[in-house]
Amino acid sequence: YERQLSLTSPFNFLAGALFSWRTYRIDDDMRFERDGNGNVGLIKSENSLDKSKLRSAYFMVPVAFKYNLSKVKHVTDDFAYRPQKKHYIAAYAYGGTLLSSNNIYKGDGVRNKQRGNYNVNNFIYGAELTVGLGFGLYLTLAFLLKLNDMIKTKRSSVFDL
């Protein structure tokens, strides 16, 4: 959803909803494992693994304000508008909630897709600044706000990401 605040305003409000998948791939025949106490860690697999990953799905809600750099066009004395061009500056903020986490690995004689709690955050958030350069080009700076680590290390006994 995008809405210009008024016909001549340089500001637009943007909002939406989307799904986001965050994937951590593991090499060297390692895989994620939960022990009986609920601690999550990396263990060496007894089999050779072709694929090992932890995937988390999130429902995300982004909101943004965009400043359009185009000039106001005057059609008549009574009517003016600001065209929506590709030159702009936008500031986005987003937040999301966890839908599911899957521990997936497969290899020599082993294939597993396990849904469960792997100590990923229930909520994620961030911000970014985007500059539209025209001709379909843009530059984005993402701020991954270190306040929100993807893996909760306080409950992880084996690894620290």
CA distances from 69 to 22, 93, 133 (A): 34, 21, 10
pLDDT at position 94, please?
92
Alpha carbon of residue 53 to chain centroid = 17
Dump pLDDT digits (tens) for 77-123: 888 888 888 888 999 999 999 999 998 888 888 888 888 888 888 99
Question: pTM for the whole thing?
Answer: 0.72
Dump pLDDT digits (tens) for 48-64: 888 889 899 999 999 99
